[in-house]
Amino acid sequence: HFCYDPAQEIKLDYPNQVAFYIPIQSSIQQLLSKPDVLNMLIKNYNETVNRNAVDTDLMYDYRHGSQAEENIILRDKPDSLLFQLYIDEIGLTNPIGAKKDTQKITMVYFQLEDLPNTVKSMLKSIGLIAMCNSNYLSTKSNKKKFFDPIVQDLNILQTRGLSIPNSASRLNFVFTVLTGDHLASNDIGGFQKS
């Protein structure tokens, strides 16, 4: 249901090493350019805020937790929509055998947390942001080159917001959490993957 937006190539340390990146802003604009999706997102956001106002002891999402109280962007722009990233490695070969780790791709996805739960459980609510051969990310310089465009896009989203086609308003966003499976989380944290 998305329009095609070509991936941008990220040059890594060696000429044969590349990664690919899809700009976050254009992905979100495409997702929210569908009127039903934008309406659903705003409606769910308002319902969640109203439910929390009635019972402040319940935590419905990130914005109702203690970390959100310290988040400068949420303090300045409390109407910001929540945005999370997920990192995972996928294997492209048989998962059994000596060469099982040689063909792994690191994938980075995004999801808007303010979508209703029934929508968030659908695969089409998850967007791909970046991908790279996992072996290339073993050096700090390649990791930096891979994650730099993601960090830049997140900073722009959080500071400038985003205009959505067919909508008069500008939406604000706040990055909440980077999630992943055990191995990906260890790798991002600088720990041993195994």
Domain that holds residue 17: 8-188
Say what the pLDDT of residue 3 is. Answer: 67
Q: 13 in helix, strand or coil?
A: coil
93 assigned to some structural domain: yes
Q: What is the rounded distance in angstroms from the CA atom of residue 108 to the CA atom of residue 127?
A: 9
Say what the pLDDT of residue 98 is. Answer: 64
2 assigned to some structural domain: no
Beta-bridge mates of residue 174: 82
Asked whether the predicted pLDDT for residue 4 surpasses 80, the reply is no
User: pLDDT tens digits for 120-166?
Assistant: 888 888 999 999 999 999 899 999 999 999 999 999 999 999 988 77
**Number of independent structural domains in the chain:** 1
Across the range 3-10, mean pLDDT stands at 83
User: pLDDT tens digits for 84-106?
Assistant: 999 998 888 766 766 666 688 99
DSSP state, residue 80: P
Q: Are 2 and 124 in contact, with CB atoms under 8 Å apart?
A: no
DSSP 101-156: TTTEEEEEEEEETTS-HHHHTSGGG-EEEEEEEGGGGGSHHHHHHHHHHHHHHHHH
193 assigned to some structural domain: no
Give the pLDDT band (50/70/90) at residue 2: low
46 assigned to some structural domain: yes
Q: 165 in helix, strand or coil?
A: coil
CB atoms within 10 A of CB 80: 24
Q: What is the pTM of this model?
A: 0.85
3 assigned to some structural domain: no
User: pLDDT tens digits for 14-34?
Assistant: 989 999 999 999 898 888 887
User: pLDDT tens digits for 31-56?
Assistant: 888 778 888 988 998 888 888 888 87
Say what the pLDDT of residue 174 is. Answer: 92
1 assigned to some structural domain: no
Asked whether the predicted pLDDT for residue 187 surpasses 90, the reply is no
194 assigned to some structural domain: no
Say what the pLDDT of residue 194 is. Answer: 63
166 assigned to some structural domain: yes
What percentage of the chain has pLDDT greater than the value 90? Answer: 38
Q: Which helix (H) or strand (E) holds 91?
A: strand 81-91
